[in-house]
Structure 1
Amino acid sequence: MNLLRPQREKRVSYPKKFARNRIITGSNQRWEMDVKYGYIEGEERFFFVLSLIDGYDRSVIDDHIGLSGSGSDAVQTLRRA
């Protein structure tokens, strides 16, 4: 039948590198902010997902989901965290 595609080769994963002068030994020592957006087809508008992520264990500390992704939204997310 040959319904399945051949298995793809696994990529080599490299360890995540931080700045050379930073050694992260636990959570809440380094936070990162990630902004993503998507398009709502029926309403013809964009939505934004702004996440504050712990750099040690990659857990989401706080996030914002809304129709705007302005700097004030980022500041409010950081204050809530």
Structure 2
Amino acid sequence: MTKSIFDEHVERNNTNSVKWDGAAMLYGKSHVLPMWIADMDFRAPDCILDAMSDVLDQKSSVTRCVQNHSSNPYGTG
């Protein structure tokens, strides 16, 4: 049987996560186990990570586009 991303344990302690690192602040006790589930408790699927990587690879061209638009937002110059 193929494992899904929901079967994989992702360690979120010491990542500035309010859910995992903020228990003492939220509940006054550090040994509380938060029982709610959020999307960030799971690793993103490979197709999403690949798409994000492709976009970030194009960052320099996007940055140039935004800079050009910011310096001339109405295309008048």
Higher percent of residues as strand = 1
TM normalised by structure 1 equals 0.25
Structure with max Cα Rg = 2
Determine which structure has the larger helix proportion and give its number: 2
Structure with the larger RCO, 1 or 2 (CA within 8 Å, 6+ apart): 2
